[in-house]
Copies of this chain bind each other. A is one copy, B any other.
């Protein structure tokens, strides 16, 4: 394990002060140009030195024929070049004193024998000059805190708390908009590509040391340094959750992964055991990977698997309870004193048993205040899962019928929503139990956005909410096991 984040080979790749850029031009269709546009787009503040064989100016930056001509030795070289010339250009970097490079270019070992030979040459150059390189065949790095984005996709959304190391670049770049929609974001993220010299274990180690990373996401197709992975993860997982998506367990996934990065993927249960030993929570899909990061990065760990479910609608209550059961949680009866508190708050057509079903009710504000408070105080449950509905079109229709203009009705609805969001935030602040929401409404709706803005994760459907709650508990149990068994 590294002593400090500055010891990581990734530190200067994720936090460079200056860049050399190979492969960008003024032809905006090429991959290199697209990536340089991303770097510009996010507003990287350090100097950028494009290297170009003929142009004097590339996208507004003075360009150089060779790095030899550049006025300083940059922290990092980014290469988006034809495969065959990458080794010689890396040599140029080495001569100039550059010690970190990101090689986006593909065409190395993932395409067969010829590429394997080229990758060998690349590694030899890196070793000769002491260069640490990410890739080849990788998508680069995003660090929104540093305004750095060496990937082809414009970075969207906010700087966040999810640190990601991935064996697929797609799951970095193609998730920017997905995370933005959930108001989430990366602390930093990178893909390892062919792992010629820096691998996913290095990535894990860096993220473990990164103070902006609250939870680590891994996308794994195959781990070469298994023992180091387990040791590193065990050192990190007790104090920072790690979630991994491993694909390769199914026959078709394995074949596809092989042609993708050239890694040899082991069988599913081997990885399952390795993750468990390492204290790593396993996700089963990309969507679940980020769901679990969301929950683990924002919610307290529950004391057990017992869930209180709150709805104002029968079917969603049944689905919520069913989803909890299938996720390995229980929906137990409440303590007698909880039932006593609920009785005056719930009409006789509803249910005060778990799941609580308020049904249609005049004092609907109780749904956001006294009822969930009673459930959070219940000694027989460890967490709370709430169904959120509140269609804004119903609220505004009702207000219009009461005589408000459409604009007034809309404004009043938003005011009510904001009030309910604040109320939920207060409940959350006053408890050490996790609270999650579920809905089938759009996550872009004002009500759901407001709840999220107040720190409440609301998932599409009870299955995802229940799985997130279960993962909080899974993590707690894995963590205890790692702590109690000491280091290997």
A residues sitting closer than 8 Å to B (CB atoms) are 28-29, 31, 34, 37, 41, 106-107, 110-111, 137, 152-154, 156, 166-171, 174-175, 177-178, 181, 219, 221, 247-253, 255-257, 259-261, 285-287, 309, 313-326, 330-331, 348-349, 351, 353, 355, 357, 359-360, 362, 389, 391, 393-394, 397-398, 401-402, 440-442, 444, 460-463
Contact = CB atoms under 8 A, between A and B. Distances in A.
A440 B174 contact: yes
A174 B318 contact: no
B177 A391 contact: yes
A425 to B, nearest CB: 24
Contacts of A353: 255, 259
A175, A286, A319, A360, most chain B CB atoms within 10 A: A319
Given A287-B463, A444-B444, 8 more contacts: A37-B397, A154-B397, A168-B314, A181-B442, A219-B315, A260-B357, A285-B462, A287-B440
Contact of A322 (B31, B247, B325, B462): B247
B316 A461 contact: no
11 contacts: A29-B362, A34-B394, A106-B359, A154-B391, A154-B393, A170-B313, A177-B441, A178-B440, A259-B353, A287-B460, A442-B444
A461 B285 contact: yes
Given A170-B313, A286-B461, A314-B169, A331 B252 contact: yes
A112 B414 CA distance: 39
Contacts of A250: 321-322, 325-326
A6 to B, nearest CB: 30
A117 to B, nearest CB: 15
Contacts of A394: 34, 152-154
Contact of A318 (B152, B256, B355): B256
A360 to B, nearest CB: 5
